[in-house]
Amino acid sequence: MRLPATIRLACLACILCGCTGLSELADTSQRVTESELLSGSPWFDRPIVPSDLPEYDLLRLDDEMQAFVAAAVPRSGSNAMRLESLLRAMGESGLTAVDYDAQMTRTASELFHARDGNCLAYTNLFVALAREAGLRVSYQQVDVPPTWSMDGDLLLISQHVNARVHDVVRQRSRREDRVIDFNAPQFSGHFRQRTVSDNVVEALFYNNLGVAKLQQGDQRAAFLHFRKALDADADAAAAWTNLGVLYTRVGASDLAESAFHRALRGEPGNEPAMSNLARLYRTRGEDALADAYEERLERHRQRNPYYHYLLAERALRDGRVDRALDAVDKAIRMREEEHQFHFLRARILAKNGRMQAAVSSLERARDHAGIAAARDQYARKLGDLE
């Protein structure tokens, strides 16, 4: 389904970086316990109790939403028929053509009535309505390339989620699933997708709201939202990293260090946590540890084809065509099936006046595209070049 695109938030699930298994590196943060990290001691002088934490029901349906599903979806019929009926009703009522706002994380009912939100909000709405329609639906997290934007001294890194409807299409003796993605044109590559629990998505939801509170300068509320995210998913690396950024802002260096290490124990390759640790150690004058984390971060990036893709985009934007071509060729060697890499290579070659080679790269982009809209787009661009 096509919706206006913006940032992996496409589904804003933000990780913050302060701007300016690491098994071979000692974790020097063990002097701080996890309970201390979750105490919020810089802002609260008493233990946090459940009533202090924010509470949202991501998938609650009100009477109007239940009536919408009842009117749109037949009680009997195949899964495919019920899914198509729901999607058609959502389209006809404007629920798939409302304003897309990468920064606006909403519950299902909030989006149903407000009609603006990010892809997490859209996915919440679809999952709630589809389950009400009797369909079996799971959330999926999509390993898209890092996308970032600046907000003062913060770097916002976005994430993407979509929905998988199970047992929809009958293929001979088995049924197949269907993926519903509310930012498909942007995230139409061969990205790894994995089913995640509702708790993982709940953690992303509260993490996003915590980021918004931090951007507004409300540190107490930001802490409570990050804490709620970690109650939902104890290994949520984004929430641990953001909690570390929050502690950094109030000068609680030991607590920040422990939060970043806790993020890495949940997700050893988490780049924002590594970057924040390197910066923290550099600020404290612990240059050997800072160097070690910077080197590990660089090794991690060098193994990531999307990192080279982003370097190629930057180089092209800066007019460094040869460097852009080198970078995109490295990305293609690492992940040849990614159609966006070949499209960027076509753009670079066209910029350099190598039109025949650009046409060949655009043909490969078209051939690798997995979504009909992307294939059609490449075919049109190919016609313009030929």
Contacts of 148 (CB under 8 A, 6+ apart): 155, 156, 157, 158
Q: What is the per-residue pLDDT for 103?
A: 78
Task: Give residue 87's region: left, alpha or beta (phi > 0; psi -120 to 50).
Answer: alpha
Residue 123 to residue 77: CA distance in whole angstroms: 24
Which CATH number does 305-385 carry? 1.25.40.10
b (16+ CB within 10 A) / e for 233-248: beebbbbbbbbbbbbb
From residue 355, alpha-carbon distances to 327, 344, 345, 359 in Å are: 19, 13, 11, 6
State the number of CA atoms in the 13 A half-sphere of 279 facing the CB: 17
Query: Is residue 156 helix, strand or coil?
Result: strand
Fold of 1-303: 1.25.40
Whose tokens are 């990192």? That residue is 307
Backbone angles phi, psi at 346, to 5 degrees: -60, -40
Q: What is the per-residue pLDDT for 9?
A: 29
pLDDT in tens, the chain (386 residues): 332 222 222 344 455 655 433 334 545 556 789 999 999 999 999 999 999 999 999 999 999 999 999 999 998 889 999 999 999 999 999 888 666 677 789 999 999 998 888 889 999 999 999 999 999 999 999 877 655 554 555 556 667 899 999 988 766 666 789 989 886 545 455 677 899 999 999 999 999 999 999 989 999 999 999 999 999 999 999 999 999 999 999 999 999 999 999 999 999 988 889 999 999 999 999 999 999 999 999 998 899 898 899 899 999 999 999 999 999 999 999 999 988 899 999 999 999 999 999 999 989 988 887 666 667 778 777 777 65
Residue 216 to residue 307: CA distance in whole angstroms: 30
b (16+ CB within 10 A) / e for 36-75: ebbbbbbeeeeebeeeeeeebebbebeeebeebbeebbee
| Tokens linked to 92 | 């006809």
Residue 326 to residue 249: CA distance in whole angstroms: 39
Torsion of CA 20, 26, 31, 35, to 10 degrees: 80
27: Cα separation from own chain's centroid:
27
**H-helix or E-strand spanning residue 157:** strand 154-171
Domain positions in the chain: 1-303, 305-385
Task: Give DSSP secondary structure letters for 235-259.
Answer: T-HHHHHHHHHHHHHTT-HHHHHHH
From residue 293, alpha-carbon distances to 14, 93, 378 in Å are: 21, 51, 40
| Tokens linked to 284 | 């404290």
Output DSSP code: residue 75.
Answer: S
Q: What is the per-residue pLDDT for 41?
A: 93
Overall pTM > 0.75: yes
Q: Are 161 and 119 in contact (CB under 8 A)?
A: yes
